[in-house]
Amino acid sequence: MSTYKGTIGILTGGGDVPGLNPAIRAITLRALKEGYRVLGIRRGWAGIVDVIPEDGEGQEEHIIELDAMTVNKVGRSGGTFLHTSRTKPSRLPRAYIPDHIKDQYTDEINDVTPQVLKNIESLGIDYLIPIGGDDTLSYGARLHEEGVKVVAIPKTMDNDVPGTDYCIGFSTCLTRTIELTHRLRTTAGSHERFLIIEVFGRYAGFTALLPTMGGAANRCVIPEHPLDVELLCELLTEDRNENPSNYSVVLVSEGATLAGDAGMHFEDGETDQYGHKKLGGIGSQIGRLLKDLSPKYNNGRSINVVSQQLSYLMRSGDPDALDSIVPMVYGNIAFDCISAGHSGRLVNLRNGTYDNVPIDVVMGKKVIDVAKYYNTERLRPLYKTFSGHPLFVMA
């Protein structure tokens, strides 16, 4: 007979970020201390889909039992040792249906939630803690509606999960962006060029706006406001002329669009299970346009461009201080909810205070309030006073 108070399942979904392992560590150590069993679900929602209930304990490929030694070993590192995926069980392509249930799900796109519920029950999971962005957590909200006890933790480089001022990974993203942008200045200055840096940010421009406010760039381009390239070229040329080293810098969100253009710039036409195409290339496109336009604003002389995608450099490596501390707190608050018998919650940080809110808040969208925080005529952060604002200002 089991002596556990209950069983907690943890998974990480979507893109990896620094801070996931510290969160898993915090939950596990607290839960073990309080008498719970902790299961790590591998590869996000894919792991819970692939479980074979009839196998009983033989699920090592998909489920691992977590102990103090395991989580302490990886708790200070980046990435997620549980691995991750962009699997969406409510829209699973037939090619991803596990062999043992292929005869039950024969459509091109399938909702395998009934099987997920069966698998959760077979594993004896009393509470499920998904750590992810709005895509991962939206399915967590679905499971909550189906009766699963879910306590969610927000994670994303873009900081765009609604209901919280902070998502795990955001601080390290800002730190990397500022650091790498400053490193690239030596090349831009040596050649007297425009420096265009493409950063993450599909729908929200926090990862471009905040580093610009911190002095990483002269201008920024965000998804919430279509770009007038002529205006950007004029402003960057002014910035370059005022710089003793004759260069200027702009940060471009990957989800940015051009005024009058069809939409976002994608690497290819392939979509993931959440309907997202892989973004990339808008920075290079803007760079080409800027070079072509530059003679108009530079006495007939062309200005060359350095264009760089930071891409996975922003999410790689170890967490910074905030992404070591916040995940630890989030993990403990998630367990506090479980200990109090609460579920259907999202752990959050609001105006400097840790708390939790209903999980269905993740079904909305969190983007920058352009009128409040972005100067569309100067392509810069807009602020009049910082008094009363939270840590990262643009909540």
Neighbours of 141 (CB within 10 A): 21
Instruction: Summarize the confidence of residues 152-178 as an average pLDDT.
Output: 96
Q: Which of 14-23, 118-127, 279-288 shows the lowest per-residue confidence on average (mean pLDDT)? A: 279-288
Give the global pTM: 0.93
Please state the length of the chain. Answer: 395
Looking at residue 348, its amino acid is N
Please, are residues 221 and 251 in contact by the beta-carbon 8 Å criterion?
Answer: yes
pLDDT of residue 260: 82
pLDDT of residue 3: 87
Place of tokens 């499971």: 143
Looking at domain 7-168+318-363, which CATH architecture does it have? 3-Layer(aba) Sandwich (3.40)
Kindly report, residue by residue over 279-307, the tens digit of the pLDDT. 568 999 999 999 999 999 999 999 999 99
pLDDT of residue 366: 94
Buried b vs exposed e over 115-131: b needs ≥16 C-beta within 10 Å?
bbbebbeebebbbbbbb
Kindly report, residue by residue over 88-97, the tens digit of the pLDDT. 999 999 999 9
Looking at residue 291, its amino acid is K
Q: Is 270 helix (H, G, I), strand (E, B) or coil?
A: strand
pLDDT of residue 9: 98
State in words which class domain 172-314+370-381 has.
alpha beta
Q: What residue segments make up the domains of the chain, in order of their start?
A: 7-168+318-363, 172-314+370-381
Instruction: Summarize the confidence of residues 173-200 as an average pLDDT.
Output: 96
Average pLDDT of the chain?
Answer: 93
Instruction: Summarize the confidence of residues 116-131 as an average pLDDT.
Output: 97
* 270 pLDDT higher than 80: no
The per-residue DSSP string of 274-325 comes to: TSPEEE--HHHHHHHHHHHHHHHHTTT----EEEEE-GGGGT-S---SHHHH
Report residue 76's pLDDT band, with 50, 70 and 90 as the boundaries: confident
Kindly report, residue by residue over 246-256, the tens digit of the pLDDT. 999 999 999 99
340 CB burial (10 A radius; 0-12, 13-18, 19+): exposed
* 343 pLDDT higher than 90: yes
Q: Which of 59, 58, 56 is nearest to 40 (CA)?
A: 59
| Residue 321: φ, ψ to 5° | -60, -50
Which pairs count as long-range contacts for 292-297, CB under 8 Å and 24+ apart, including other chains?
293/229, 293/230, 293/233, 294/194, 294/233, 294/237, 296/233, 297/233, 297/234, 297/237
Q: Chain centroid to CA 279: how far?
A: 14
pLDDT of residue 77: 93
Please, are residues 307 and 196 in contact by the beta-carbon 8 Å criterion?
Answer: yes
Instruction: Summarize the confidence of residues 135-139 as an average pLDDT.
Output: 96
Query: What is the pairing mode between strands 37-41 and 63-65?
Result: antiparallel
Of the residues 16, 126, 135, 158, only one is catalytic, namely: 158
Are both 7-168+318-363 and 172-314+370-381 of the same fold?
Answer: yes
158 is catalytic: yes
pLDDT of residue 392: 84
